[in-house]
Structure 1
Amino acid sequence: MDDSESCILVGYSQQDTPPPGDVGAPPESDEISDIMREVENLRAGRGDVTPQPHLTFPLSPNNLKVLEEKFRDDWFWNEKLHWEYSGLTAEFVIKMLSQPQQVVVSSVGFNIESQFEVFRSASDDKVAKFGQDFYGIGSSHVKPCYEGLLSKRCPDLSWAHWGHSFYPGLVIEVGYSQTRKSMENRVFDYFYGSKGKIKIVISIDLKPSKKSKKASIEMWKSSVRRQGTKLEIDYKLHATSDFRNDDGSPNLDSGVRFTLQEIAPDAPGAEGVGNCFMEITGNKLYEALCRGEKSLAAEERGLKEAQSIEIAPPRHLTLGRAEVMEQYPDLDYQYD
């Protein structure tokens, strides 16, 4: 698909979305310094055991360019930090994966890859070849190709097909209590920003709350129609279900299902894999979430126990200089 083609988004009201830069922001220097300070805190390991789901900062598009230039050759920024930028709301977001999120992401990633492996080793050569051309991208950045609107998304998991596009065909997000508007903005970025090349977005919402233990999964799909030189891009919510109920019990009938063909419909051989189904089941999500929560609880207990234990400093640190030199004559001990 030619990047010069213009796009029309069907069923989407531009009035529902604030224009770029519509969010009030502090002076430019404060915007950048606040983010840089938080990045350095994370680099140094200064943070809570139970981090917030994400940290959000107002940031103008021009200041994003300044920030990227400052960290252009920084390994932590480029390889370790999970961050996003929404041109729709002029917000910079640092994604902070909690222990439950990490366990769910790992479980879903393993599950999807296991299903791909089944297709890659299928007896049907066409299915095997199509499956072998899929590759995992992980949480690498996805840059929507808007005209004049800068955005960057960082999905938790994604897969692409060599014959389909440099954009992933399947994107998976694992988050905490994302509002409907927030999720719609993300879906908009993925589908419209990729000109419809991203075909499926799956959102797993863990929804932690003292009143409810509900957790859900939903699947969005995009479709593209060509009208002369224009593309009409439509997307819809195709499936949604709770895999954990309010009381914490599992919903075993939950989950989502899709085909290999739906992930990469334009790739060579796609017509032969329309019956090759993949799925994310509610019971596996439930088990992974419970494991993650138990792991987090154990980590928090361990931290509290460690903090409650008073550890005496080494004896030489409590001595004066003369006493140290007398007891440790060979020690090269320097005082300020």
Structure 2
Amino acid sequence: MIPDEIRDGKQIDSQREPDASSKHRQARYPGVIIEVCYSQKGRCVSHLADEYILSTDGSVSAVVALDIDYKGSKKATITVWRPEYATLDGKEELQATATIDALPFRTDCGLPIEETALRLSLRDFATQELSQGLTSLNQDFSITSTQLCDFLPRAKEEQPGQMLLQGSINRLRPGAGKRRRPQTPPEQPSSEDEG
């Protein structure tokens, strides 16, 4: 789960559950996130990429969006965002940059486009701190268009259930309410405690 974001001292509820993710076992956040979306949701996925990357200070190394056409065509594209520092008006800022933008990997007929592949590095799954000095993480690997196309039917099967809020859940007991923990500022140690 991606954390809430703090803006102007106020907490913004931005917790999201990606469609798929993977991380190093010692990392707090996933290094690679995959979102499967249909064209209508595809317009919003760039904002999700911003949220995932910026709210984790770049701990998310890659946000991969598989965008499926939903109007009778079987065409599908892939977009990948990565964290990047840019200098604007003399100030360095972290941003999410599309390094691959709407690259087709499946034709209108549903056939894989052979030359298209998603290339990731093992470093993508860990933070810079965890991967520092580990040359074994310099390995890249590719996921072919055929593999991406094989992944889509499984994702499509899950999509209606997610959209219709189907699936097993725990239910609140009849008449029961919910109580959230009050937000209080952290306790400040007294001068005696510091001593």
* 1:195 corresponds to: 57
Counterpart residue number, 2:106: 244
Q: Which residue of 1 aligns with 2:128?
A: 266
Match of 1:150 in 2: 13
Distance 1:280 1:192 in 2: 26
Structure 1 ranges of 4+ moved more than 4 A: 290-293
| SS of structure 1 residue aligned to 2:138 | coil
* Deviation of the 1:224 alpha carbon: 4.7
TM-score, normalisation: structure 2: 0.64
Query: Which structure's residues are more often strand, by fraction?
Result: 2
Larger radius of gyration: 1
The separation in 1 between residues aligned to 2:86 and 2:104, in whole angstroms, is 32
Percent identity reads 27
Q: Which runs of 5+ in 2 are unaligned?
A: 159-195
Once residues 138 and 115 of structure 2 are traced to their aligned partners in structure 1, the CA distance between those partners, rounded to angstroms, is: 21
- Once the 2 structures are TM-superposed, how far is the Cα of residue 265 of structure 1 from its aligned partner? 4.2
RMSD value, Cα: 2.9
Give distance in 2, aligned partners of 1:159 and 1:242: 24
How big is each residue's C-alpha offset from its partner over 1:112-156, in whole Å with a ceiling of 9 and x where there is no partner? xxxxxxxxxxxxxxxxxxxxxxxxxxxxx3224323222111101
The structure-2 alpha-carbon separation of the partners of 1:290 and 1:194, relative to structure 1 and needing over 3 Å to count, comes to closer
Distance (Å, rounded) in 2 between the aligned partners of 1:150 and 1:217: 28
Q: For the residues of structure 2 that align with 1:291 and 1:153, how far apart are their CA atoms?
A: 21
Q: Secondary structure at the match of 2:14?
A: coil
Amino acid at match of 2:30: P
8 Å CA contact retained: 1:191, 1:235: yes
Q: Which 5+ residue runs of structure 1 have no aligned equivalent?
A: 1-140, 297-336
Contact 1:239 1:256 in 2 (8 A): no
TM-score (norm 1): 0.39
Shift, 1:176, TM fit? 1.7
Please list, as runs of the form range in 1=range in 2, the aligned pairs for 1:163-312 lying within 5 A after superposition: 163=26, 165-179=27-41, 181-210=43-72, 212-224=73-85, 232-240=93-101, 241-271=103-133, 272-289=135-152
Kept after mapping to 2: 8 A contact 1:214/1:242: yes
| Structure with more helix by fraction | 1
C-alpha separation in 2, matches of 1:290 and 1:195: 33
